[in-house]
Structure 1
Amino acid sequence: MSESFDAVDRRLVQATQAGLPLVSRPYHSLAEQLGITPAEVMARLARLLESGIVRRIGAVPNHYAIGYTANGMSVWDVPDERIDELGERVGALDFVTHAYHRPRRLPEWPYNLFAMVHGGSRAEVLAKVAAIAELLGPVCRAHDVLFSTRILKKTGLRLGA
């Protein structure tokens, strides 16, 4: 870890890795728990974000609980030299929750751009995938959709005690 990642940072990450406290003033609650000021909590989180130790702070909804029962990982075969440009365009779509580059596994797996799409039905997901295909146009050589059948894990990396 970074030299600037100290024991208080570690405790702060451990206190927030399952989510912020569900109270009206979560940073104040964390400050009380850690024995520091709310301003220090916010400054430390800002520094951890800027350094890349923490990638983001945001809401992670339960897609099933809000009615998105069809979840499809769309996979795309696009030119490697355009992956950053195309990935940013796909990732900017309001119905794509995350998009990323993955290595191909030729000859069986030609796909290098992945984009997660959620919908209330498979038909809705497929319509959104069709919109991605239209956006990519002829530069996309092939695509597919892998539908979720169950959730196995819904957490990121966790620091131990």
Structure 2
Amino acid sequence: MNAPNDFRPLDDTDRRIIQATQAGLPLTARPYHAVAEQLGMEAEDVMQRMQRMLDLGIIRRIGAVPNHYALGYRANGMTVWDVADDRIDEFGEQVGQLPFVTHCYQRPRHLPGWPYNLFAMVHGKTREEVEAKTRLIADVLGEASRACDILYSSRILKKTGLRISA
């Protein structure tokens, strides 16, 4: 992502906005107004600053994060693939675009026991559903996939992103 020409580092106000929203926006009809009130700012300023941080890639996204377990998706499999390193970007882009892949990234191999370098998270209501989706990924990778496996979640751990402290 190319940053716009008006890039400037975060100032104290940007940091305060990030700190106030990093655990989530308030669950109100007007969350940006609530954040603005908390910080002693105008809501329009909060929204403009957050949009700027989104445009610059400082904030990756703003969105709801549903609890997939509560929605009935209890078979969660991290599919792992062994593909040629010189094609990992191409394959990662293709796999990451599949509508049922929620995370896709490259990780280092740990040979000889761990040949996998492409990871793609798939959620399903059953293991059979995850396996069917895994076959669709295999179709995308074709003969470029030398090996694969599915690592199923056994419990939920607390998931958080980077937190900026005061």
Instruction: Indicate the TM-score class for this superposition, using the shorter chain for normalisation.
Output: over 0.9
- 1:8-157 to 2 correspondences below 5 Å: 8-157=13-162
TM-score using structure 1 length: 0.93
- CA-to-partner distance for each residue in 1:27-47, whole Å, 9 max, x for gaps? 111111111122211221122
Measure the CA separation in 2 of the matches of 1:112 and 1:45.
Answer: 34
User: Helix, strand or coil for the counterpart of 1:72?
Assistant: strand
Q: Supply the distance in 1 between the matched residues of 2:35 and 2:74 (Cα, whole angstroms).
A: 34
Q: Which runs of 5+ in 2 are unaligned?
A: 1-6
- Between the aligned partners of 2:88 and 2:50, the Cα distance in structure 1 is 31
Quote the Cα distance in structure 2 between the aligned partners of 1:91 and 1:42. 29
Can you list the C-alpha shifts for 1:90-138, whole angstroms capped at 9, x where unaligned? 1111110010111111111111110000000111111111111111111
Q: Which AA in structure 2 matches 1:16?
A: T
How many residue pairs are counted as aligned between the two chains? 160
AA at the equivalent of 1:41: V
Structure 2 distance, partners of 1:38, 1:93, is: 36
TM superposition outliers: structure 1 runs of 4+ over 3 Å: none
TM-score (norm: length of structure 2): 0.90
Q: CA RMSD in A?
A: 1.5
